[in-house]
């Protein structure tokens, strides 16, 4: 029974469960978590932000319109040596300036593309967080299943103890056995029931946690289906993981930033025009209020953008190299996890084979010991020891079954494979 207590403490990592439905699958938990967990809602928000920023960048194609006004007073004005009009010291202007880009070196289109890839990068980051939630769901879901298997095995032990206790009580009453034999079985039965109560508490706690992860109220009576074996657990280590999509979108973002820097090396050309009403106009000798305008082309070239472009591009290239290094390190971690889980699967299969052999032998001993106990050949303590050993062997098999399936699901999760 001490081993049972160890299993109880081990399985406290379990977590809660569910609701109105009679059963709940692991895939259903994945779907609910991806739809209802707060992080999942960020995907739609990030997409909306990217769309808005792209539209804003697109407005750079449109004419830029500015309305301006000015009123001023100056202490002196230009005077002419010959007789001419007197200029006013107070001046007023109100007008509209329009500028239309003609050539920008492709910068506007690149800025639109940059907003799109930045949005993709943000969405990929959210998907990485969601994948971590899937790993938590795995841990909680299988924790509950392990506790349930433990509960079933302890219940079998309790039923067996109760059956033998009923027989021993009768023989004690008839004087065929000492009362101490009955007391030993009664004490073990109480302990088994205590273990069962602790396990049920762990199961309820597990369902509560699972309910939080999938954002659904679930009852501890809801049945959790043991997932089926994933059809294929082969493939290059983790290449379908969302982290690889994030690495790729991060590098794409930097690549577009480099293109934007290169576009800024070119001069820009724009058409402009201004229409103004006020005084004085372009003819400063005309001091009357009137309208006047100007149209033309403007060429500009920022020398410092041209000279710094190479250095900026080098800095971005270093960032890309850093991402490549992080990706390589992540790949090694995934590969190591795959090796570890595959070895665990092989080990669990071997343990299950030996568990079945042990159970068969232990059961033979239990059957013989039950008869010996009834005939007074062995004590109740000896029988409890035999029964506990058989119970622990059965418990080990049930736990190894669940652990094997969990290892297979963990491998699929590590590889980024679907478990449907």
Q: Could you tell me which residue, 89 or 258, shows the higher pLDDT?
A: 258
Say if residue 358's pLDDT is above 80: yes
Instruction: Bin 215: left if φ > 0, else alpha if -120 < ψ < 50, else beta.
Output: left
Closest CA to 95 of 338, 232, 251, 294: 294
Residue 389 β-bridge partners: none
Burial class (CB in 10 A: 0-12, 13-18, 19+), 168: buried
Say if residue 20's pLDDT is above 50: no
- Of all residues in the chain, the percent with pLDDT exceeding 70 is 90
Lowest mean pLDDT among 28-32, 65-69, 375-379: 375-379
Say if residue 82's pLDDT is above 70: no
Say if residue 17's pLDDT is above 50: no
Assigned domain for 29 exists? yes
The CATH number covering residue 119 comes to 1.20.1600.10
- Write out pLDDT tens, residues 23-60: 888 888 988 888 887 777 788 888 888 888 888 888 87
Assigned domain for 112 exists? yes
Lowest mean pLDDT among 234-248, 253-267, 340-354: 234-248
Say if residue 412's pLDDT is above 80: yes
Distance CA 338, CA 332 (A): 10
Distance CA 332, CA 243 (A): 13
Residue 268 β-bridge partners: 300
236 pLDDT tier (thresholds 50, 70, 90): low
Catalogue the E-assigned strands of 59-157: 64-73, 90-103
Q: Are strands 90-103 and 223-224 parallel, antiparallel or unpaired?
A: unpaired
- What sign has the CA pseudo-torsion 202, 205, 209, 215? positive
Mean pLDDT computed over 112-120: 91
Q: Which residues, in sequence order, are CB contacts of 383 under 8 Å at separation 6+?
A: 164, 185, 369, 370, 372, 373
330 vs 2, 135, 173, 240, 414, CA distance in Å?
41, 17, 70, 13, 12
Say if residue 7's pLDDT is above 60: no
124 vs 46, 89, 225, 238, 333, CA distance in Å?
10, 63, 30, 15, 20
353 vs 94, 228, 298, CA distance in Å?
92, 20, 83
Overall domain count for the chain: 1
Assigned domain for 405 exists? no
Provide the domain limits for residue 201: 2-69+90-310
19 pLDDT tier (thresholds 50, 70, 90): very low
Question: Mean pLDDT of all residues in the chain?
Answer: 83
The pLDDT score that the predictor gives to residue 11 is: 39
Distance CA 371, CA 211 (A): 47
Distance CA 173, CA 113 (A): 89
Assigned domain for 355 exists? no
- What sign has the CA pseudo-torsion 49, 51, 57, 60? negative
Neighbours of 239 (CB within 10 A): 11
The pLDDT score that the predictor gives to residue 2 is: 38
Assigned domain for 377 exists? no
pTM of the shown model: 0.72
Q: Identify the residue whose tokens are 């967080």.
A: 129
Assigned domain for 84 exists? no
Say if residue 178's pLDDT is above 90: no
Distance CA 25, CA 133 (A): 16
Do the Cβ atoms of 4 and 384 come closer than 8 Å? no
Assigned domain for 404 exists? no
Assigned domain for 173 exists? yes
């Amino acid at each position: 029974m001490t081993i049972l207590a160890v299993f109880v403490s081990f399985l406290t990592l379990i977590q809660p469960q569910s609701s109105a439905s009679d059963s709940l699958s692991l895939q259903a938990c994945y779907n609910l978590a991806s739809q209802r967990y707060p992080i999942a809602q960020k995907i739609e928000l990030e997409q909306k932000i990217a769309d808005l920023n792209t539209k804003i960048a697109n407005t750079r194609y449109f004419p830029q319109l500015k309305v301006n006004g000015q009123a001023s007073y100056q202490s002196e004005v230009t005077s002419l040596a010959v007789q001419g009009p007197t200029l006013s010291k107070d001046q007023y202007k109100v007008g509209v300036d329009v500028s239309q880009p003609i050539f920008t070196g492709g910068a506007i289109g690149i800025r639109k593309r940059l907003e799109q890839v930045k949005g993709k990068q943000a969405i990929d980051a959210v998907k990485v967080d969601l994948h971590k939630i899937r790993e938590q769901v795995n841990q909680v879901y299988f924790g509950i299943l392990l506790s349930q298997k433990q509960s079933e095995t302890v219940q079998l032990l309790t039923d067996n103890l109760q059956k033998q206790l009923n027989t021993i009580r009768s023989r004690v009453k008839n004087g065929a056995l000492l009362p101490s034999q009955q007391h030993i079985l009664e004490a073990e039965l109480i302990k088994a029931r205590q273990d069962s109560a602790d396990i049920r508490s762990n199961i309820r706690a597990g369902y509560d946690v699972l309910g939080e992860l999938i954002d659904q109220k679930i009852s501890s009576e809801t049945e959790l289906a043991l997932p089926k074996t994933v059809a294929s657990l082969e493939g290059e280590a983790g290449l379908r993981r969302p982290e690889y999509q994030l690495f790729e979108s991060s590098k794409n973002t930097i690549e577009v930033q480099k293109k934007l820097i290169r576009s800024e090396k070119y001069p820009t050309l724009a058409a402009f025009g201004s229409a103004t009403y006020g005084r004085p106009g372009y003819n400063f000798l005309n001091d009357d209020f009137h309208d006047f305008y100007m149209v033309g082309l403007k060429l500009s070239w920022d020398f410092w953008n041209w000279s710094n472009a190479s250095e900026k591009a080098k800095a971005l290239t270093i960032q890309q190299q850093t991402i490549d290094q992080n990706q390589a390190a992540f790949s090694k971690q995934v590969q190591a996890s795959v090796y570890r889980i595959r070895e665990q699967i092989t080990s669990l299969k071997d343990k299950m084979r030996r568990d079945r052999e042990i159970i068969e032998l232990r059961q033979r001993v239990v059957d013989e010991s039950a008869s010996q106990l009834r005939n007074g050949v062995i004590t109740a303590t000896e029988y409890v020891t035999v029964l506990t050993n058989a119970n622990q062997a059965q418990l080990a098999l049930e736990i190894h079954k669940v652990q094997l399936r969990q290892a297979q699901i963990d491998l699929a999760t590590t590889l980024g494979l679907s478990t449907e």
